[in-house]
Structure 1
Amino acid sequence: MRVLVAEDAEDLAELIAAGLRRAGCAVDTVHSGAAAQDHLSLYAYDVVVLDRDLPLVHGDDVARELAASGGRTRILMLTAASTTEDRVAGLDLGADDYLPKPFEFPELVARVRALGRRSAPAAPPVMERSGIRLDTVRRTVSRDGRQLALSVKQFDVLRILLQADGGVVSAEELLERAWDAHADPFTTAVRVTMSKLRAALGEPPVIHTVQGVGYRL
């Protein structure tokens, strides 16, 4: 899942980002409404964690513009304003969820995950193909009943391949969906992760390279 954290308090933004990364998300951070608008126009995010009181461009304006665009990015509005009227106002602007500060971090992660499920194309919580069973809720993977220990990136890449249901997924799409904005488009990260994923899945091989196009399961 790809998440943008738009929070003007840099320490808090990095704290949120670090926690979401530990939960398996690819996360970018920005500290103004203008920067949030720029990132949202450039990258396909599943969820934006949006501070309401952002400098340069107010968070309300970011939410209003994003909601009007009709895109799939879900909005979790994060703000110190916690009255019922504030929550109603935020939701009326187009936010999908509203979490007042201070908050408990496990709740934020759970809300981001819930919004991510609404953002992504509908997929079953458990996917199976070629003897591989991936549980997106428990984040577990097995092959022919044997439990596998995958890294966060290996899990995300395998999930994307399973969602393709036998279709080919390009390296560019994998990089866009499983890494953050700092990933170099010329990086070998996809190739290296794919090599390690193949090794973890074992024999016989189930991930095939379609030369010049991408990968399929």
Structure 2
Amino acid sequence: MRILLAEDDLALGRALADGLRQLGYAVDWVSDGQQAAAALTDTDYAAAVLDWNLPRSSGPAVIAGLRRRQDVTPVLLLTARDALVDRVAGLDAGADDYVVKPVHLDELAARLRALLRRADGQPGPVLRVGTLELDPAAHRATLAGAPLELTAREFAVLELLTRHPGRAYSRAQLEEALYDWGREVASNAVEVHIHRLRNKLGPEWIRTLRGIGYALAPTEAT
């Protein structure tokens, strides 16, 4: 899942970006509000984490711009402002949730997972499609109760497909969702991940729709 992080404190931004990457997210990190607004215009993110006091444009201002153009990207606001009036102002600007600094990575990650569940209409923390189950918090996957040994990138591909079963993703869409800026991507990387997932799940679980892309599981596979 690809996340935008906007934080101008270099030490905090680096720590959060590194921590989220270790949890399996692809993270694009910017340090001011105008860069954040441009990134959100150009890229389809699963969610955004925005500091309130960004240079050139505040977090709430960036969020307000998103919502004016009917962009529903889930946004988590980071703020040192813990007064009720400030929390209300941030939510009323269009933020979906907020975290008061100092930021703890575990809480930030849990709130991100909650935002993603709500955005996808998922009722609980475990994703289920037939006999396939994924637990994003634990990075654990099972098929018919048997554990699946997946690499971080394989898990990321399968998580995206499982969040939207039946929806076809092109190679370009999968690359955009899984790799952050500056990451060199082999031309056949997505095909390699799909091939390995089919070997582990069974070939019937991931369909290739010619000229369109890849989708999870026809009905008979579940």
Check the 8 A contact 1:5/1:48 in 2, yes or no: yes
Corresponding position: 1:106 with 2:99: no
Change (3 A) 1:86 1:141: same
- SS of the counterpart of 2:208? strand
Check the 8 A contact 2:7/2:32 in 1, yes or no: yes
In the TM superposition, 1:66-145 aligns within 5 A as 66-119=66-119, 121-123=120-122, 125-129=126-130, 132-136=132-136, 138-145=138-145
- Mapped partners of 1:84, 1:46: distance in 2: 28
Please give the per-residue CA displacement for 1:35-57, whole angstroms capped at 9, x wherever unaligned.
00110001111221111111122
- Mapped partners of 1:80, 1:40: distance in 2: 23
Give the CA deviation at 1:204: 5.5
Check the 8 A contact 2:60/2:95 in 1, yes or no: no
- Mapped partners of 2:162, 2:143: distance in 1: 13
What residue identity is the alignment partner of 1:6?
A: A
Give the CA deviation at 1:211: 4.0
- Mapped partners of 1:23, 1:211: distance in 2: 32
What residue identity is the alignment partner of 2:100?
A: P
Q: Give the equivalent residue in structure 2 for 1:30.
A: 30
- Mapped partners of 1:165, 1:112: distance in 2: 21
Check the 8 A contact 1:175/1:183 in 2, yes or no: no
Change (3 A) 1:52 1:157: same
Check the 8 A contact 2:127/2:163 in 1, yes or no: no
Count how many residue pairs are aligned between Structure 1 and Structure 2: 214
Give the CA deviation at 1:177: 2.4
Give the CA deviation at 1:123: 4.0
What residue identity is the alignment partner of 2:110?
A: A
Give the CA deviation at 1:137: 5.1
- Mapped partners of 1:87, 1:166: distance in 2: 38
Deviation above 6 Å: which 4+ runs of structure 1?
Answer: none
Gap runs ≥5 in structure 2: 218-222
- Mapped partners of 2:48, 2:167: distance in 1: 29
Please give the per-residue CA displacement for 1:75-118, whole angstroms capped at 9, x wherever unaligned.
21112222222212212221111212112221111111111222
Give the CA deviation at 1:31: 0.4
Give the CA deviation at 1:184: 5.7
Give the CA deviation at 1:128: 2.8
Q: TM-score, normalised by structure 2?
A: 0.83
Check the 8 A contact 1:46/1:72 in 2, yes or no: no
Change (3 A) 1:192 1:89: same
- Mapped partners of 1:188, 1:204: distance in 2: 18
What residue identity is the alignment partner of 2:128?
A: M
Q: Give the equivalent residue in structure 1 for 2:220.
A: none
- Mapped partners of 2:164, 2:77: distance in 1: 31
Q: Give the equivalent residue in structure 2 for 1:54.
A: 54
Identity across the alignment (%):
39
Q: Give the equivalent residue in structure 2 for 1:156.
A: 156
Q: TM-score, normalised by structure 1?
A: 0.85
Gap runs ≥5 in structure 1: none
Change (3 A) 1:117 1:145: closer
Q: Once superposed, what is the RMSD of the aligned Cα atoms?
A: 2.4
